[in-house]
Chain A
């Protein structure tokens, strides 16, 4: 185990989607699927063993970020965080996602790391994860029998565990077109750290009244989670100081954080409501 040397593995480099599917059908959980590699290779240097690594790097046509006012946003499996940062459509229509990408890692890792990879990693601290959950959307999974879509609300089933079957790979994340406002905020010790707490809010507003909200928070449970009590509080209400205070209390009571290297359970609980309040205010600003 060394940060200099990777353990031995067998590299699979499919040249097409059908070839990738064929290889995954054959090797299943023996193969780790790699997009940008900024996460998987670090994990492998830290001791994660995988007999096979299946790289999507040479499968053509997976590095797209396509926005359509009716169909919404489609993010291909190889689309990098840098592409999200450079996309004017994402910045304009999905600010929570844009804001989560712009602070994720460093400029160098953003040139390789992918949004879909961030979602697939299923870490409760993933910055894109919390934005993806607030915005809502579907992970498109490709297997030998074709594709299926899994709603992001059901995609993370446990800590670092997703609804992806071992014979499938994620080809796309799809976010519906929507007129909502959104924002992302996080807390770190220094800028490039992993978040100790992160949050995203999506609000569907009619004038000053919030018709519907999706509030997501990370680093407080085994997966990124929605704050459904707080969402109910916002529903049909004008976003006043009083309502925000209620949201703050609801979030604080709904989260179940733990102590770890980046923060304590007590602190995370204390500030979770405040972070969510500020995220909602940022979305409305």
Chain B
């Protein structure tokens, strides 16, 4: 087949699409659905800018996922983290700690951080740095990002 009809759930909304089979999830999000919050960095699985969450948990790369194989998948992008106008604790912590400079890696960085904290609410610096290995930031030097993730973990633990 050259095209495939799929239903894909993005940030809680269902979309029925007929996608060309050679289109990546990243192209479909950005170009077909008009959701530019997920970024294109390297396109080859090295930088993590296009990180999204699959079925609420696992972090995957939208640039290396065929949209045609995503029928029924539930995708969360950075725009889907906010609840009724309130930022997610990870987003809040990135802002407060100044873990952003140019901001291009931030959507992927935030999504990876959410998946880290879902598995491990109080990660050590070493654990965070290992898990962030696939997300490249060329501005911050990572120190503030690591701090933001730890602060977010603490904030999330104290609210539940």
Contacts and interface: CB of A to CB of B under 8 A. Distances in A.
Nearest to B50: A108
Contacts of A57: 69
Nearest to A43: B44
B58 interface: yes
A42 B44 contact: yes
Contact of B112 (A4, A41, A107): A107
Q: How large is the interface on A (under 10, 10 to 19, 20 to 34, 35 or more residues)?
A: 20 to 34
Given A9-B21, A45-B44, A109 B64 contact: yes
A108 B43 contact: no
Which of A107, A111, A191 gathers the greatest number of chain B CB atoms within 10 Å? Answer: A107
A111 to B, nearest CB: 5
Interface string B43-63: 111101001001000111101
B157 interface: no
Contacts of A6: 22-24
Contact of B22 (A8, A42, A106): A8
Contacts of A8: 2, 22
A11 interface: yes
Interface in A189-237: 191-192
Interface in B58-107: 58-61, 63-66, 68-69
A191 B134 CA distance: 10
B133 interface: yes
A260 interface: no
Most chain A CB neighbours (cut-off 10 Å) among B27, B45, B46, B68: B45
A207 to B, nearest CB: 36
What are the 9 A-B residue pairs with the smallest beta carbon separation, nearest first?
Answer: A106-B134, A3-B43, A11-B21, A6-B22, A108-B134, A111-B58, A42-B44, A108-B61, A57-B69
